[in-house]
Amino acid sequence: MAETATAPLFPRAVLGLNGGPTDELVVRLGCELARGRDMEIVALHVIEVDWRHDLDDDLASSNEAASAVLDFAEGVAEKHRVRLRTQLLQARDVGAALVDEATELGADLLVVGLPYRQRFGGDFAIGDVIPYVFQNAQCSVLVVREPVSEQLPRRAEPAAISHGSA
């Protein structure tokens, strides 16, 4: 008996890739959601174009790192036996490009990664892209934060207060 695909919770998902440590988590999660389901997944990488260049300048074709990000995503999807389409965009603002492209593609889910970073002073840093996506995406949003590395120094526990006599 032939195996039939299960109806997906999210028929179309956009995976926002940034070329960082969370890309593998994002793609693997997308593949797990799509496995055995009739679900379309699109891996999207946005090259942020600074104001020294026009948006029409073709920075993407000469950017080997951007191509490597999408090649990596295709490799992960192939290992999971899931179809994945890739797309490379140039934009002034990554968050706006992710939201706009997810809307244009009719995505039901936008998956983005959040690297574990700390600012000076030890506060957790979320950046600008995630808050923008949360506020403006018209579809469901799933954020995957990378695990805290074992090499990172942990916050010190408060010192025990001694009430004994000195």
Q: Note the pLDDT tens digit of each residue in 47-80.
A: 887 656 555 655 555 567 788 889 999 999 999 9
- Does residue 117 have a pLDDT over 80? no
Mean pLDDT of all residues in the chain? 81
Locate the domains of the chain by residue range: 34-145
User: Band of the pLDDT at 146, cuts 50, 70, 90?
Assistant: confident
- Does residue 120 have a pLDDT over 90? no
Whole-angstrom distance, CA of residue 80 vs CA of residue 77: 5
Q: What is the pLDDT of residue 101?
A: 96
Beta bridge partners, 101, equal none
CATH architecture type of domain 34-145:
3-Layer(aba) Sandwich (3.40)
Q: Which of 98, 90, 103, 89 is nearest to 127 (CA)?
A: 98
Lowest mean pLDDT among 45-54, 74-83, 99-108: 45-54
Q: 49 vs 92, which has greater pLDDT?
A: 92
